[in-house]
């Protein structure tokens, strides 16, 4: 089976492309920059229909990861990439005759800001999703799942907080702040949060590709996590320790963090760099969100192969090797 992976320059995209190839499938990748991956590659923007048409040739499955994921930006930018881009990829996949489409979504599409305690994949809702990223991902998930047909199996996979060696999104930001001595806990970091080690997210996507046509799979959305919720305090301690840094000890109350985040969002609107904190991020770091993985595991016939302890071990080794190289 020839599988197209969009957005393969990111951590999860690259890991997924490798995992698919390791299962004996043929892989083609599509993204703006050179991926450096040992696969067929077409470079282009998600708005470039010609490039999309070219890359779709012969593909029977698509894993669509390409998205704007940053925590800042205008709604229009998010819409262009996440909603319109997804619509184009879907369209060209159908035209090209692909039979499976795996949309990489996010649990934030169903997160209203209230704690999520052991819930399954609730319906995506662009109105209640927090912030432009979650809202546009919700729109895209809804329009993708609406395209599910007998000979075009559509699945949405929502990996929650993917991390691993080389991750800049989550781990990188935490370490940068810890190095600067500016990493602190919100409300003592008591909220329980599910995360996903990179290899597990990739293997779940492979399972989704292979099982997309199963009756219990197609047309549905699944949250994917390690299934080992931990407190924010413990996660931050493990991550900073992996990098050889002291664990955060200072805590600020939620109200203060949220307020500071909202101020930073406004201040940073006019700058190129990212704000250190946003209201959304403060909420995410102070509110429980852990999920019911029973349906996901049964439907995808998948279990995470790498436990949290093993994952933190690998992260530690990675930082140690990096230190030696420096």
Q: Does residue 290 bind other proteins (CB under 8 A)?
A: yes
Do 300 and 225 contact (CB within 8 A), yes or no? no
Q: Does residue 303 bind other proteins (CB under 8 A)?
A: no
Q: Does residue 224 bind other proteins (CB under 8 A)?
A: no
Active site (annotated) includes residue 133: yes
Residue where the block lists tokens 């190095």: 179
Q: Does residue 118 bind other proteins (CB under 8 A)?
A: yes
3-state secondary structure of 85: helix
Q: Does residue 198 bind other proteins (CB under 8 A)?
A: no
Nearer residue to other proteins within complex by CB, 82 or 287 = 287
Q: Does residue 195 bind other proteins (CB under 8 A)?
A: no
Q: Which of residues 251-280 bind other proteins (CB under 8 A)?
A: 254
Q: According to CB under 8 A, which one of 141, 167, 187, 210 is a site residue for other proteins?
A: 187
Nearer residue to other proteins within complex by CB, 34 or 114 = 114
Q: According to CB under 8 A, which one of 31, 35, 144, 287 is a site residue for other proteins?
A: 287
* Strand pairing report for 116-119 and 289-291: parallel
How far apart are the C-alpha atoms of 110 and 124, rounded to whole Å? 5
- Least Å distance between CB 129 and other proteins? 18
Q: Does residue 248 bind other proteins (CB under 8 A)?
A: no
Please state, as a whole number, how many other Cβ atoms lie within 10 Å of the Cβ of residue 74: 10
Residue of 133, 197, 258, 319 marked catalytic: 133
- Tokens of residue 119, six digits: 């819930």
Cα–Cα distances (Å) from 317 to 135, 165, 193, in that order, read 37, 9, 24
- Least Å distance between CB 52 and other proteins? 40
Q: According to CB under 8 A, which one of 19, 191, 204, 242 is a site residue for other proteins?
A: 191
Nearer residue to other proteins within complex by CB, 39 or 254 = 254
Q: According to CB under 8 A, which one of 13, 164, 227, 304 is a site residue for other proteins?
A: 227
Read out DSSP for 33-59? Answer: S----SSEEEE--TT-HHHHHHHHTT-
Contacts of 255 (CB under 8 A, 6+ apart): none
Q: Does residue 230 bind other proteins (CB under 8 A)?
A: yes
Nearer residue to other proteins within complex by CB, 186 or 217 = 186
Q: According to CB under 8 A, which one of 117, 256, 303, 305 is a site residue for other proteins?
A: 117
How far apart are the C-alpha atoms of 204 and 199, rounded to whole Å? 9
- Least Å distance between CB 200 and other proteins? 15
Bridge partner residues of 104 (DSSP) = 157
Q: According to CB under 8 A, which one of 288, 306, 313, 318 is a site residue for other proteins?
A: 288
Q: According to CB under 8 A, which one of 51, 69, 119, 245 is a site residue for other proteins?
A: 119
Q: Does residue 123 bind other proteins (CB under 8 A)?
A: no
How far apart are the C-alpha atoms of 278 and 127, rounded to whole Å? 19
Do 7 and 67 contact (CB within 8 A), yes or no? yes
- Tokens of residue 239, six digits: 């991550």
Q: Find the part of the chain contacting other proteins (CB under 8 A) among 47-55, 68-76, 135-143, 189-197.
A: 189-197
Which among 41, 10, 145, 11 has a CA at the least distance from the CA of 86? 145
- Tokens of residue 229, six digits: 């919720």
Cα angle: 184, vertex 178, 289; to 5 degrees? 50
Write out the catalytic residue numbers.
133
Site for other proteins, rule CB under 8 A? 114-115, 117-119, 186-192, 227-234, 237-238, 247, 254, 283, 286-288, 290, 292-294
């Amino acid at each position: 089976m020839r599988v197209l992976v969009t957005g393969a320059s990111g951590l999860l995209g690259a890991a997924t492309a490798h995992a698919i190839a390791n299962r004996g499938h043929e892989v083609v990748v599509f993204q703006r920059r050179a991926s450096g991956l040992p696969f067929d590659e077409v470079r282009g923007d998600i708005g470039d229909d010609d490039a999309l048409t070219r890359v779709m040739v012969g593909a029977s499955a698509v894993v669509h990861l390409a998205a704007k994921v940053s925590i800042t930006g205008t709604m229009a930018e998010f819409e262009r990439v996440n909603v319109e881009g997804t619509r184009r990829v879907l369209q060209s996949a159908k035209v090209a005759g692909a039979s499976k489409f795996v949309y990489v979504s996010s649990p934030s599409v169903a997160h209203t800001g209230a704690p999520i305690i052991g819930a399954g994949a609730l319906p995506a809702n662009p109105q209640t999703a927090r912030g432009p990223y979650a809202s546009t991902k919700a729109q895209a998930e809804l329009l993708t799942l609406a395209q599910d047909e007998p000979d075009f199996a559509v699945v949405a996979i929502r990996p929650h907080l993917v991390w691993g060696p080389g991750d800049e999104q989550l781990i990188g930001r935490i370490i940068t702040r810890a190095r600067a001595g500016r990493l602190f806990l919100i409300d003592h970091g008591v909220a329980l949060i599910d995360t996903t080690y990179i290899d597990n997210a990739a293997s779940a996507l492979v399972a989704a590709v292979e099982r997309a046509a199963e009756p219990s799979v197609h047309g549905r959305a699944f949250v994917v996590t390690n299934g080992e919720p931990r407190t924010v305090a413990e996660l931050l301690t493990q991550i900073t320790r992996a990098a050889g840094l002291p664990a955060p000890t200072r805590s600020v109350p939620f109200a203060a963090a949220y307020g500071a985040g909202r101020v930073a969002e406004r201040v940073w609107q006019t700058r190129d760099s990212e704000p250190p904190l946003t209201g959304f991020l403060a909420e995410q770091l102070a509110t429980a969100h852990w999920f019911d993985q029973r349906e996901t595991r049964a439907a995808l016939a998948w279990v995470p192969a790498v436990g949290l302890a093993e994952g933190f071990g690998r992260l530690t080794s990675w930082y140690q090797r990096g230190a030696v190289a420096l």
